[in-house]
Structure 1
Amino acid sequence: MPFAHYGVLSGTLYRHYRDQPDDQGRWFHVNLEVDAPAGRYHCAIDVDSHKSTVGVRWKSFVLDPADLGPSAALAPGYHELAPRADSGALDYLRHPALVDRSGVLFQRRPPSWLEELLALFGARPWHAGSNVDAAAALEPILVVGRRILVFGEPFTDDPEGDLGMHNVHQNQGDPAGSQWWQENGVWQDGATLTQRPDGRYDVFLNMFSSQSSRTDADGHPVA
């Protein structure tokens, strides 16, 4: 079933760091610490998968606050969002400001001149690469002291009661038979946004390569 709780954390970025590599040298998250009225939140951003055959794709671009919708005006703190287009929730495949209108997937980052040309046509291309590539695309927007919006699922079962956000990635399109099939849903996607000095938002979206870019009304993949 879709998430019982989904929302956005609005706060101030305190710092970020990468996971420590495991005994195979792998690491899976860029971790954020975000200050908000309830305390300091830990947010885990996926830049790889525990399954070696499943990689991560990402895209980054800039949005005006008006394009983001109600979430841009929220006060600091965690806010529950209903899975609807008018609540401030995000959906990679349905939100007009997030949809990829190019239909293009680059295996590596395109040259800057091509990115600028694609932007003129409203393109939102996905990129593919290693966890290092994905982290390198995310980390430039993680400026200490910036206002940050982290969309995803709040920690609700931490025995120590720690504050945090996870599932900060696409949360639909997982294939039938996968352990995440039951969590598919629309208007519950995760994302990381930080606000520039000019008021606009740097946006980082991420999804697993096993997830479909076409889904039905329940968030399940369609051919």
Structure 2
Amino acid sequence: MTFTDILREENDDVFQKIFSHPFVQGIGKGDVPKEALAHYIKADYEYLNAFMHIYGAAISKSGSREDIQYFNNQIDFVLNSEIHPHNNFCKHIGASYEELQGYPLPPTADHYVKHMMYHAHMGGLGEITGALLPCPWTYLEIGKELVKLYKPTVNHPFYHWITFYANEQVEETTLQMRKRLDDLASKASEKELEQMKIAFRKSCQLELAFWEMAYTCEEWPVRDYVKV
């Protein structure tokens, strides 16, 4: 088994909870509360902005042009491709993408971003990649699971969201990141491997928590700081 095969096996409990989460299943059924969709888009837009900064941190620790090109390509994917599933949700709730941008991160999303930033600044490329990988990997498997369970047609309200994450581009992105993590793991010390596993596990857990955050429209218990 490869290192990422082991990670997937060790974290199957979290993957299964993600698949069965009411928000995820609601996407498959075509029935998610509009306020939950709006909350998801607001948080995910800012989360993906932070995700690109983590890729930037990975670039700063890259020792080859090949690595720099790889992470630069991932930034391009987030900037120019992941707007499509967001737009699917926006169209469904009758809101423009622009009006759902610029909101403060809810507590769970804020924690997720800071978790990734911690590993980006404190760890090496393996640790950073371990923290990043659960995002594309869980979404790929969500897309495939929903296609298998619900067989959506073009008339399905979330057809474009589901098929985007089940497509070959997301699968290739995930496989490339897995291969890079496997390569890094093959040269890592036991301590580094443990840190990679910790980073991956926490990101999986926070992916699950992100769905719950969006579904419950989680907010800070007291109004968050607003710059005057």
Higher-strand-fraction structure = 1
Q: Give the TM-score, by structure 2 length.
A: 0.28
Q: Give the TM-score, by structure 1 length.
A: 0.28
Higher-helix-fraction structure = 2
Query: Rg: which structure is higher?
Result: 2
